[in-house]
Structure 1
């Protein structure tokens, strides 16, 4: 099973109001040993915000501005990128890579926690279980299943087509992960041996 965001997130989230001063935010971060604070929502439809140590350093300290005069809402990011608790940790890592953020709140209706690159590094299983290897194993299994199904039910059967759908989804995922284009799918290899199979896979809408 792939680890999910909720398995490795930090549940003890420290929040702050958008109207608080940056000085208050710094005090809270230092006291609680946090690199970011989640900015509270004002009402149900409001978005969560985030203020990070880099916001404070880049936007306040670097310009010699007075943190006692500046407010959190002036430097926060809102709405911030949020993570679903059931999102696989690998996808959290990919989201961070694509958006160049280091942490995000974990939200499902309410604020459940915060997940950071530090959590992935400390609690992730990517060292023991690299996703690419697991995926390759699953692809080989799925190909075996598909070939067995097609032998049993026939190359032009619905079951055969559905089994190859599963293989192609997995192969597409693996190709996306490696950022490569697939030269030939396992189904295309199968079709060279069973030319009728391709016809059967043109679905009626």
Structure 2
């Protein structure tokens, strides 16, 4: 699975919030960028962001002089940031849920910037769509859970954790497909096959199917 760090742009020019908007415009033109990261003043400060949309909507649309307006007047601060280890599909979901098109990648310090273009051009969603990968992982997780419980016992921590992973993957699959949760989870099906599991341990996974 590709992560934000795998697709991000590492050459990220920084601007100061006190600089005129005209400076941001020139830098965007020079670098061919649609957004710039506004640098922090000190270690306790937050990064900001100024985009083409900010400039067009807040400066150009009202005939204001970009040489007189300062970046801090139109920037967004603090801005939404991305962890470098976040999977690309989750970066895309974050963008979709918030309506943003660019975000700095930060882990302690600024590492890079990820954009819609990065996701589109550098992602592996064509070769490895999330739904297909998730389906394979779910099948493997179910097989692993069955094997672990058979080898280590129904009341083992490993068995509990293995089925918890299965339940998480099934919930994620339902979310991706925008469907209701399955009528019977893989764990519930396993309990039907092995009713003794309910007699040897109390589990924290919901089992709604009655067992004779």
Question: What TM-score, normalized to structure 1?
Answer: 0.92
Question: 1:102 and 1:158 mapped to 2: Cα distance?
Answer: 42
**Structure 1 residues 168 and 102, CA, compared in 2 at 3 Å: closer, same or farther?**
same
Residue deviations 1:77-129, cap 9 Å, x none?
A: 00000011111111100100010000100111111100001001110000110
Shift of residue 157, structure 1, vs aligned partner? 4.3
Superposed counterparts of 1:95-174, under 5 Å: 95-174=94-173
Please list every run of at least 4 consecutive aligned residues from structure 1 whose deviation after the TM superposition is greater than 6 angstroms.
none
Aligned to 2:22: 23
RMSD: 1.5
Superposed counterparts of 1:1-205, under 5 Å: 2-183=1-182, 184-198=184-198, 200-202=201-203
Q: 8 Å contact 2:160–2:203 — kept in the other structure? A: no
Question: 2:5 and 2:202 mapped to 1: Cα distance?
Answer: 38
**Structure 1 residues 172 and 113, CA, compared in 2 at 3 Å: closer, same or farther?**
same
**Structure 1 residues 201 and 159, CA, compared in 2 at 3 Å: closer, same or farther?**
farther
Residue deviations 1:110-164, cap 9 Å, x none?
A: 1110000100111000011001101101111111122223333444544433321
The total of aligned residue pairs comes to 202
Shift of residue 201, structure 1, vs aligned partner? 4.3
5+ residue gaps, structure 2: 205-212
Residue deviations 1:52-96, cap 9 Å, x none?
A: 001000111111111111110010000000011111111100100
Task: Name the SS of the counterpart of 2:33 in structure 1.
Answer: coil
**Structure 1 residues 153 and 76, CA, compared in 2 at 3 Å: closer, same or farther?**
same
Question: What TM-score, normalized to structure 2?
Answer: 0.90
Q: 8 Å contact 1:105–1:113 — kept in the other structure? A: yes
